[in-house]
Amino acid sequence: MEIYIGNPTNGDKALVTSEGRLRTYSVSETIVENAAEDGNSYNVNTGTINLTSANESGVLYLKNNGINDLHIASIGFLLGNSTGGTGDLEVKVYKNSTAGTLISGATDVDILENKNGGSSNTLTVDCYKGAEGSTITDGASWYTSLLAGSARPYVISTGTIVIPKGGSVSVSITPQASNTSMNVQVFLSLIEYTL
């Protein structure tokens, strides 16, 4: 008995080669590309924060209040020139922070936008930016990096960081020694994983 795979809209049937293989064509895309097409890809940016010391300051907090996992593909740092600073600066990424003035201060980030210009989807998150001296007082250290102090952008490709429902990620920056003024921005490229 022969079985056909067909298109009910136009009657076309799938082609089988002389070797008995089904002939197909496909288009492959990454999960990130698929998420962007479906309106589930987002850009988060703190906006410019001026750090006026060489002490650690919490600069970004994101908590997932939705039902789906959030996947962070990269964390970026836009660094201005330091006044008086010498040497490297340090960035830290924490998981599951729940306390500190970064969180209790609750100042919304400047940008939390869908990367699909035609989508009205939004994230169910708490997403705050910090200021000079904002604190992160708990959570486990996920990543720590040293960055050169000169003005430049950095994108840290961490591999995918997964933030489940109720989980959070926080970022701090410690400017280089003797810093008295340095503008920074921190951004996240993330998707809501709905597949």
Q: What is the DSSP letter of 91?
A: E
**Residue 192 near residue 115 (C-beta atoms within 8 A):** no
More confident of the two residues 127 and 74: 127
Residue 14 CB neighbours (<10 A): 11
User: Which class does domain 41-192 fall in?
Assistant: mainly beta
For the chain, where are the alpha helices, taking DSSP H only? 31-37, 101-104
Question: Residue 25: which pLDDT band, with cuts at 50, 70 and 90?
Answer: confident
pTM (2 decimals)? Answer: 0.86
* CA distance linking residue 110 with residue 130, whole number of Å: 11
* CA distance linking residue 136 with residue 147, whole number of Å: 20
What are the residue boundaries of the structural domains of the chain, listed by start? 41-192
Per-residue model confidence (pLDDT) at position 95: 96
For 76-164, where are the alpha helices, taking DSSP H only? 101-104
